[in-house]
Amino acid sequence: MNPARTLLAAAALALFACHPEAKVKELSVAELASLQRQGAVRIYDVNTDEYREQKGVIPGAVLLPSSADYPLSLLPADKGEKLAFYCANQH
């Protein structure tokens, strides 16, 4: 298994559109990979720099500096766009 698929399999993935009626959905690796191939999702990596260096990053993912504090300019202007966030949740 390649590093990106390993990272996907280990991550908790949620897909949602940014609007009040948004639904959160957990995705399988295959579902996210399919959406990514179609260009139908923007992927966000919320891991630490140290974790990214050790485990890698999903190609094309937007790297957030923190899960709690990041510039809103990193989010899409289109509030209907589908987003997927992932992190290892290492606490």
Task: Domain count for the chain, please give it.
Answer: 1
Q: CA-based diameter of the chain, in Å?
A: 37
Phi, psi of 57 (to 5 degrees): -135, 145
Q: Residue 28 above 70 pLDDT?
A: yes
On whether the CB atoms of residues 67 and 11 are closer than 8 A, the answer is no
Alpha-carbon gap, residue 14 to 28, rounded angstroms: 10
Average pLDDT over residues 55-70: 89
Establish if 51 belongs to a structural domain: yes
Establish if 91 belongs to a structural domain: no
Q: How many CB atoms lie within 10 A of CB 26?
A: 9
User: How high is the pLDDT of residue 22?
Assistant: 61
Average pLDDT over residues 25-45: 92
In which domain, by residue range, is 7 found? Answer: 3-86
Non-local CB neighbours of 23 within 8 Å, separated by 6+ positions: 16, 17
On whether the CB atoms of residues 41 and 31 are closer than 8 A, the answer is no
Establish if 69 belongs to a structural domain: yes
